[in-house]
Structures are given as C-alpha cells and as structure tokens.
C-alpha cells in the first residue's frame, strides 16, 4: 500500500459543481503529432466534470481505494506546518497541477525519504526542484500534450484581446458607456504584424498553426530547429536566439519551459530590445520574465500590453503588481485547466499511476526525470544546473 499525496486547488466558492453549461466535451483520440491521448485501463469520471479541485480529486479516489492505496487530497500546501508538509514523511507519490503547484523544494525532498514519484497533472514540472529529483533518484513525470492545445487557444485569445483592446472596451460597456474613441485609441488589427514565439514545441507550434490564418508574419526561436518543410509550410522565420528575434516582432509569445537557461530571460535589457509598443504574452512561467521590469515597461509605453496566466508564486499575494499594472490582460493560471483539458490530464495521471504500480514503463514522452537524469520530454526541453 502506498500513500499518494495529491495537492489540488480549492473547490469553487459556491461548492463543487453539480451541473455544467454543456453536456460533455469532444472526444479527442490523438494529438496533432499522432501521439495518442492518455490510455489508462479505465477512468472513474465523466469527461467534462470538474476534476482539478479538491472534491474532484482528479477522479482518482475509487482507483486508489480499490488498490489499497491511501489518497490524501489537500489544497493546503504553503506556509508553516501545511498539510502537504505534514503528510510528506511517508508519501511515496506526490501529485499536483501547475495551477496550484506543490513546490517540491530540496528541503521537501529531504523530508520525504519514501518519495519515489512526482506527477505533474498537466505540463511544466519546474515547481519540482529537478536537481533534487536527480540527486534523490525520484521519477518526475507529466502528462505531455494534455493541455498544449488548450494553452495555444488561450495565447491566440490573449494576443487578440491585447492588440484589439478588448478588455478595456468591454469595461466601457459594463460601466454603461458608449465611448468609441476611448476604445479605439489603443485598438489595432493583428493582420500584417510580426509575431514571434520563444520556443516551437507543442504549444509554440500550435500557436503558429492557429495564427497563420490571420495573415501575420511568423517568427520563432528554439534550441531545436523545426524541419525546413514545416518552416516553409507556415512561412516561419527562424532566429538563433531570443535576443535576435524580439527586435523584429510586434507581438512575442513565450512558450518555453522554465529552467536555468530561461530564468529571467525577459529582463530589462531584453524588453528594451523589443519594438516600442510591442505586446508580450506569457503563458509559460512567470519567472521567465522580470516581474518589475514588465510593470515599468507598461508604464513607460515600451510595452503596449502584457497578458498571461502564469504568476510567481501561485497563488500570488493580493498586492502582486501584475493585478493592477496598466494595459494588462491577466487571468489566474487557467489556460491549461479547462474542463476539456482536465479530462485528459486526469486520465494521463491515472495512466502514469497504473504503470508505476503495475511495474510497466511510463511512456517515454511523459518522463522529465528518471534514474537520476533528465529523460524523455525532460531531456528534450529542460536543463539542470
Ligand atoms: P514542449 O516540450 O513541447 O516544448 C517546449 C519547447 O521549448 C521545446 O521545443 C524546447 O526545445 C524549447 N526550449 C527549451 N529551452 C529553450 C530555450 N532556452 N530557448 C528556446 N527554446 C527552448 O512543451 P509545451 O507543451 O510546448 O509546453 C511548454 C511550456 O509551456 C511548459 O513547459 C510549461 O511551462 C508551459 N505550459 C503552461 C500551461 C498553462 O496552463 N499556462 C500549460 C501547459 C504548459
């Protein structure tokens, strides 16, 4: 019997939902590169239900109980004497979602001698100290591709919202106004703009494909260059690094993981290299940008807008400056936790658990760290110190 600690976000303020605006979600069997969506032996939920909150328990409760495992589900993860800290001493598996991350620091590893597996229910395992996972021989796995398309849709929405000045215009309506000139004074079309992505992995590439239809000029940088045929098909211009790409872009979308190479990549100097009045969209990780440099750039007009759904820490304090900076289009960390995405990453989490407990290999593409080194998706997309 194993103890599984699962850290999830709180239920909605009105309680765990009992009904939904729609009667289900489309069934998707393969991702755009042909990879199959998760293939657990069974699931104990109806796709489209809320699974990521504490009551949803990622749909894992029945499975864990049937197999004699102890499942502890909590949202209490930070501060002195949190439930997470109290449960770690005999935990074998820790699961959390990047939206409400269990920050698995080196100190927490030291307090969890039985820990064998950390699962990111979603994508992006930077909330786990990967160096510590390497040192302790703990496997880190995530549900690769499960919400990449969800995020790409959010990126396109945010680019359009910023450039077309959607949110402030909406506010005029709510306030009873009809202030056309107030709305139009910051509104543009994206047609003809140069839009660049930092990384062209699953999300970056999905952003390219979606934006192509808008007749924009697409740019990217990545440590793995795409095949020439894909560059040609999408009209992509490759740049060897971020510094050489940003000066030509009207909009930049950050789509790389957070790891030592990308920490603080968008500092004051990188933002100064951007065109005056460029837009920056960050659905990757907050620490890829310098928090205060973003605020200053919005105040000075160097950036015309910043939007994203990733913050540090999560949840952010009430007085986090991104809540009140000008020309922002922020959301809480929601892009990858639509009900559609939850069904996939909950099934993927179940698949990883089944493999682990049945002694079957976890899919290579789900692996970030295994056997004391980066593996699978981790070896492709991350670095350690
Ligand atoms: P992916 O592994 O398919 O792509 C990552 C890409 O980043 C790879 O092509 C890799 O080569 C590239 N890369 C890594 N380091 C780089 C560097 N220094 N410079 C340039 N490129 C670099 O992953 P993905 O599915 O596209 O997800 C990317 C990231 O997006 C995740 O790691 C996560 O941080 C974030 N994400 C956010 C949400 C959300 O809800 N906001 C959801 C999913 C993923």
Residues 136 and 156 in one domain: no
Query: Which residue bears the tokens 């047609």?
Result: 191
Q: What is the pLDDT of residues 134-152, one digit of tens each?
A: 999 999 999 999 999 999 9
Q: pLDDT at position 384, please?
A: 87
Identify whether 308 is part of a domain: yes
The reply to whether ligand 1 has any atom less than 6 angstroms from the CB of 202 is yes
Residues 291 and 356 in one domain: no
- Catalytic annotation present for 97: no
The two beta strands, 236-238 and 139-142, are unpaired
- Catalytic annotation present for 333: yes
Q: pLDDT at position 117, please?
A: 98
Identify whether 330 is part of a domain: no
φ/ψ (deg, to 5) at 94: -120, 130
Residues 244 and 160 in one domain: yes
Q: pLDDT at position 161, please?
A: 98
Residues 171 and 319 in one domain: yes
Query: Which residue bears the tokens 């939850």?
Result: 342
Q: pLDDT at position 101, please?
A: 98
Residues 191 and 315 in one domain: yes
Residues 174 and 316 in one domain: yes
| Residues contacting residue 220 through CB under 8 Å, at least 6 positions apart | 196, 197, 198, 199, 200, 204, 208, 226, 236, 237, 238, 239, 245
Split at pLDDT 50, 70, 90, the class of 182 is very high
- Measure 258 CA to ligand 1 centroid, in angstroms: 8
* Runs of H (alpha helix) within the chain: 61-66, 83-87, 106-110, 130-136, 148-163, 166-174, 180-184, 202-212, 228-234, 242-245, 268-273, 291-300, 339-358, 376-381
Identify whether 142 is part of a domain: yes
Identify whether 258 is part of a domain: yes
- Catalytic annotation present for 147: yes
Residues 226 and 317 in one domain: yes
Identify whether 331 is part of a domain: no
Left (φ > 0), alpha (ψ -120 to 50) or beta: where does 309 sit?
alpha
Residues 123 and 138 in one domain: yes
Q: With pLDDT > 70 as the criterion, what percentage of the chain qualifies? A: 100
Residues in the chain: 385
Domain encompassing residue 14: 3-146+337-376
Q: How many domains does the chain have?
A: 2
Q: What is the pLDDT of residues 251-287, one digit of tens each?
A: 999 999 999 999 999 999 999 999 999 999 999 999 9
Q: What is the pLDDT of residues 93-147, one digit of tens each?
A: 999 999 999 999 999 999 999 999 999 999 999 999 999 999 999 999 999 999 9
Q: pLDDT at position 347, please?
A: 98
Identify whether 382 is part of a domain: no
What average pLDDT score do residues 342-350 get? 98
The active-site residue, picked from 97, 108, 147, 282, is 147
Q: What is the pLDDT of residues 203-252, one digit of tens each?
A: 999 999 999 999 999 999 999 999 999 999 999 999 999 999 999 999 99
Identify whether 192 is part of a domain: yes
Residues 304 and 239 in one domain: yes
pLDDT over threshold 90, residue 385: no
Q: pLDDT at position 139, please?
A: 98
- Measure 329 CA to ligand 1 centroid, in angstroms: 21
Q: What is the pLDDT of residues 14-43, one digit of tens each?
A: 999 999 999 999 999 999 999 999 999 999
Residues 161 and 299 in one domain: yes
The reply to whether ligand 1 has any atom less than 6 angstroms from the CB of 285 is yes
CATH number, position 297: 3.40.50.720
Identify whether 63 is part of a domain: yes
Residues 281 and 349 in one domain: no
Residues 215 and 245 in one domain: yes
């Amino acid at each position: 019997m194993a103890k599984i600690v699962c850290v999830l976000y709180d239920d909605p303020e009105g309680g765990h939902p009992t009904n939904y605006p729609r009667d289900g979600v489309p069934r998707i069997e393969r991702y755009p590169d042909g990879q199959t969506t998760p293939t657990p032996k069974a699931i104990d939920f109806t796709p489209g239900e809320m699974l990521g909150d504490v009551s949803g328990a990622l749909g894992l409760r029945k499975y864990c109980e049937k197999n004699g495992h102890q499942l502890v589900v909590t949202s209490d993860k930070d501060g002195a004497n949190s439930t997470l800290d109290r449960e770690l001493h005999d935990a074998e598996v820790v699961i959390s979602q990047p939206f409400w991350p269990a920050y698995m620091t080196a100190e927490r590893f030291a307090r969890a001698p039985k820990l064998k597996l950390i699962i990111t229910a979603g994508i992006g395992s930077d909330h786990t100290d990967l160096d510590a996972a390497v040192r302790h021989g703990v496997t880190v796995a995530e549900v690769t591709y499960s919400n990449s398309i969800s995020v790409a849709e959010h990126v396109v929405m945010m680019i359009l919202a910023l450039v077309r000045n959607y949110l402030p215009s909406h506010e005029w309506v709510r306030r009873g106004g009809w202030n056309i000139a107030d709305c139009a004074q910051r509104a543009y079309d994206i047609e003809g703009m140069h839009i660049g992505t930092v990384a062209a992995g699953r999300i970056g590439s999905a952003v390219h494909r979606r934006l192509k239809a808008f007749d924009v000029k697409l740019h990217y940088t990545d440590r793995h260059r795409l095949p020439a045929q894909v560059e040609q098909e999408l009209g992509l211009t490759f740049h060897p690094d971020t510094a050489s790409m940003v000066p030509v872009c009207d909009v930049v979308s950050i789509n790389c993981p957070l790891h030592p190479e990308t920490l603080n990549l968008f500092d004051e100097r990188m933002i100064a290299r951007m065109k005056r009045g460029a837009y920056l969209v960050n659905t990757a990780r907050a620490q890829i940008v310098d928090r205060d440099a973003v605020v200053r750039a919005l105040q000075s007009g160097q950036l015309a807008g910043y939007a994203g759904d990733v913050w540090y820490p999560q949840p952010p304090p009430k007085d986090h400056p991104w809540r009140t900076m000008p020309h922002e289009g922020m959301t809480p960390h929601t892009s990858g936790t639509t009900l559609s995405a939850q069904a996939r990453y909950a099934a993927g989490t179940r698949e990883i658990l089944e493999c682990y407990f049945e002694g079957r290999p976890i899919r290579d593409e789900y692996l970030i760290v295994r056997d004391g080194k980066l593996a699978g998706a981790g070896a492709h997309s991350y670095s350690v110190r």
